[in-house]
Amino acid sequence: MRCSLCHQELSINLSVIELFFPPIKCCRTCRQKFTRIKRTQACLGCGRAQAQTKLCSDCQNWKTLYPQLLANRALYLYDAALKDWMQQYKFYGDYQLRFTFAAELKQALADYQGYLICPISLADERFATRGFNQVTEMLRAARVSYSELLERKTIAQPQSKKNRHERLLLPQPFSLAVPSEKIKNKKVLLVDDVYTTGRTLFHAAEIFWENDAEVVQSLTLAR
Ligand SMILES: [Zn+2]
Ligand SMILES: [Zn+2]
């Protein structure tokens, strides 16, 4: 078995346990390039790395729009190493990379027992160019069951081409893909790759809050 990132033989620096439980497909050297965010040193709202857990200024702004807290948990810092990885996975479509964080994702999701795990769906045209949804593929690689509870209303211009201000003003892109009763009084965990402005996640959460979900939280690979 080879590392999904550097393609070195994995057994060189992984123990048997690491190799087979759960499916780690990223060697130690590659994993060390990424920086984990400690939960005790992250904003309670968006999960950004900071000295204390109190709400950052971005989250205080969101609070004026949404009284609920997303309590986003971000696993990694969105630094140069993770941006490189994302570039290779999302934009060059290196499908093998869906395994890179499978073990970490599975471990993090174990804290959300009883939640409906809902990946953020891509706009159709983006799905068509890439051929796969990077978030659902990562969940599948981690062997986590999920429900696609949201669908995109319209084909929107990719968010990455907009500046921060334009992104914050975007209209609601989602609608509920399942009957409202499936959501009522349920706990929902949204999963996305990166928490950037929070706009996409809050739009998604809004759909569930409007449909009487009991709790809506989110988890992202990076922040
Ligand atoms: Zn490697
Ligand atoms: Zn925050």
> Residue 5's pLDDT is what?
83
Distance of CA 71 from the midpoint of ligand 2 (Å): 9
Distance of CA 129 from the midpoint of ligand 2 (Å): 32
At residue 96, the 3 state secondary structure works out as helix
User: What's this model's pTM, rounded to 2 decimal places?
Assistant: 0.87
Distance of CA 10 from the midpoint of ligand 1 (Å): 7
Q: Which ligand is nearest to the CA of 5?
A: 1
Distance of CA 139 from the midpoint of ligand 1 (Å): 20
**What percentage of the chain carries pLDDT values higher than 70?**
85
Quick: pLDDT tens for 120-148. 977 666 666 667 788 999 999 999 999 99
> Residue 96's pLDDT is what?
83
On whether the CB atoms of residues 195 and 201 are closer than 8 A, the answer is yes
Q: Which ligand is nearest to the CA of 24?
A: 1
User: Given the DSSP bridges, would you call strands 174-176 and 215-222 parallel, antiparallel or unpaired?
Assistant: unpaired
> Residue 169's pLDDT is what?
73
Rounded-to-integer distance, Cα 217 and Cα 81, Å: 26
Distance of CA 146 from the midpoint of ligand 2 (Å): 26
> Residue 126's pLDDT is what?
63
On whether the CB atoms of residues 105 and 138 are closer than 8 A, the answer is yes
Distance of CA 214 from the midpoint of ligand 2 (Å): 22
Q: Which ligand is nearest to the CA of 37?
A: 2
Ligand 2 is a single-atom ion; what residues have CB below 5 A from it? Answer: 43, 45-46, 56, 59
Rounded-to-integer distance, Cα 214 and Cα 53, Å: 23
> Residue 112's pLDDT is what?
97
Distance of CA 137 from the midpoint of ligand 1 (Å): 20
Distance of CA 24 from the midpoint of ligand 1 (Å): 11
What are the pLDDT tens digits along the chain (223 aa)? 778 788 888 765 555 555 555 455 778 888 899 999 999 999 999 999 999 989 999 999 999 999 999 999 999 999 999 999 998 888 787 888 888 898 899 999 999 999 999 999 776 666 666 677 889 999 999 999 999 999 988 655 566 667 777 766 778 999 999 999 999 999 999 999 999 999 999 999 999 999 999 999 999 999 9
Question: Edge-to-edge strand order for the sheet containing 115-119?
Answer: 73-76, 215-222, 187-194, 115-119
